[in-house]
């Protein structure tokens, strides 16, 4: 996995270098204007955005504790450190560090790692569903002419809604009859590969165990409410940051519909986060989206994209490093340990 990550990182680095060399004499970028955009920004709005992001981590801790309540009761804020340290690891090491959060929760609570990975999957499903609901609600209710290429965006929106509904149906099916669903898929896929069919079946059964965290419609409603509240805070943070760049008319007057479109672009760019290099690729993708969709000049678009990355993703790093110091957690060591534990678990499940 590490070797693949380094190869991918090297490919991305070469691509970025080639792009810089190609665009050096073709694209004019005024660094003075870039600095002026940052200096003229309304930092009160950026401070509000930072507060929203910090509160979002609290919601993450409360949600994870709620998902554990039928297995083991833990304080709603007792897992805040695992969330902060886990996202700090992702920011510094890349998406390869995603298993750090379930690994740290497992170590802290004494619960099996397999259970926490299942909780992590449930959490990510709620994240994806909540974001899709917010995105589609805002886009479909936007007035005519509020968005560029509305016909394409609405098709994407309908696709996201259909995917969310299909995911919810699959979630309910696995929760009510996980063994039957696993057996059906195992039988169907075994015609292609017996190993693949057996592995998928085991994964679904393990996922079914994780869904024991949702034992009633009340559990589902609480988890969904916490997820929606958290993503509303993140959306508000994006809106406050973009509108903070008052020297750019397009950004200062950005509508909510355009904001969620920008947010979707940012989330897509962060899906394959690489160490350090990924920061610059994300800034580039988001800045390009601002220029292409809203006609924002390169300098304010880059300044805004860099601020979005700093506040919504990297601002937790200093807190996470300090917290890890107090908890005596080495980010690099725990990232390696969590990856190895996940790989061992993947080998043990089919064998079991």
Instruction: Tell me what pLDDT residue 345 has.
Output: 63
The rounded distance, in Å, linking the Cα atoms of 187 and 190 is 5
Q: How far is CA 337 from CA 100, 120, 236, 326, 340, in A?
A: 8, 17, 36, 19, 5
Q: How confident is the model at residue 273 (pLDDT cuts 50, 70, 90)?
A: low
Dist CA 177 CA 173 (whole Å): 6
Give the tens place of pLDDT for each residue, 45-75: 999 999 999 999 999 999 999 998 888 889 9
- Comparing 114-118, 207-211, 222-226, the range with the smallest average pLDDT is 207-211
pLDDT score of 1: 45
Least confident of 125-134, 145-154, 259-268: 145-154
Q: What is the DSSP string of 115-162?
A: HHHHHHHHHHHHHHHHHHHHHHHHHHHSPTTSSSSHHHHHHHHHHHHH
State the pLDDT at residue 272: 62
Inter-CA distances, 128 with 88, 121, 224, Å: 21, 11, 11
pLDDT category of residue 352 using cuts at 50, 70 and 90: very low
Round to whole Å and give the CA distance between 320 and 334: 13
Tokens of 338: 């969590």
pLDDT of 331 > 50? The answer is: yes
**Distant-in-sequence, close-in-space partners of 342: CB < 8 Å, separation ≥ 6:** 99, 103, 113, 117
- Lookup: tokens for 155: 């098709």
Other Cβ atoms closer than 10 A to 190: 15
Across residues 81-96, what is the average pLDDT?
Answer: 89
Q: What is the pLDDT of residue 11?
A: 55
> Does the pLDDT value for residue 253 go beyond 70?
yes
pLDDT for position 210? 65
pLDDT range class, residue 348, cuts 50, 70, 90? low
pLDDT, one tens digit per residue, over 280-322 is 888 888 888 898 888 899 899 999 999 999 999 999 999 999 9
Asked if residue 225 has pLDDT above 80, the reply is yes
pLDDT tens per residue, range 24-46: 555 567 788 888 999 999 999 99
Model-level pTM? Answer: 0.83
Residue 186 vs residue 295, higher pLDDT: 295
């Amino acid at each position: 996995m590490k070797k693949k990550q380094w190869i991918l990182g090297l490919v991305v680095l070469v691509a970025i270098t080639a792009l810089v060399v190609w665009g050096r004499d073709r694209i004019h970028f005024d660094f003075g204007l870039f600095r002026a955009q940052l200096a003229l920004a309304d930092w009160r709005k950026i401070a509000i955005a930072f507060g929203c992001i910090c509160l979002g981590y609290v919601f993450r801790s409360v949600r994870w504790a709620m998902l554990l309540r039928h297995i083991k009761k833990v304080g709603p804020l007792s897992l805040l450190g695992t969330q902060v340290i886990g996202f700090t690891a992702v920011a510094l090491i890349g998406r390869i560090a995603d298993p750090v959060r379930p690994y740290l929760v497992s170590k802290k609570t004494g619960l099996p790692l397999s259970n926490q990975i299942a909780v992590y999957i449930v959490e990510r499903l709620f994240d994806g569903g909540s974001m899709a609901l917010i995105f589609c609600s805002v886009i479909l209710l936007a007035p005519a002419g509020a968005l560029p290429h509305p016909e394409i965006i609405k098709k994407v929106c309908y696709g996201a809604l259909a995917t969310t509904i299909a995911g919810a149906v699959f979630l309910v099916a696995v929760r009510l009859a996980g063994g039957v669903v696993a057996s059906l898929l195992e039988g169907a896929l075994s015609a292609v590969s017996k190993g693949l069919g057996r592995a998928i079946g085991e994964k679904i059964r393990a996922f079914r165990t994780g869904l024991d965290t949702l034992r009633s419609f009340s559990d589902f409603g609480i988890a969904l409410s916490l997820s929606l509240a958290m993503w509303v805070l993140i959306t508000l943070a994006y809106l406050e940051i973009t509108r903070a760049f008052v020297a750019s008319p397009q950004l200062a007057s950005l509508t909510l519909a355009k904001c969620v479109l920008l947010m979707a672009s940012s989330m897509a760019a962060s899906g394959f986060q690489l160490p350090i290099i990924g920061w610059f690729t994300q800034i580039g993708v988001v800045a390009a989206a601002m220029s292409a969709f809203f006609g924002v000049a390169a300098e304010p678009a880059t300044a805004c994209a860099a601020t979005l990355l700093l506040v919504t993703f990297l601002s937790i790093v200093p807190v996470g490093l300090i917290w890890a110091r107090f908890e005596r957690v080495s980010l690099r060591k725990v990232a390696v340990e969590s990856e190895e534990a996940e790989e061992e678990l993947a080998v043990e499940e089919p064998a079991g």
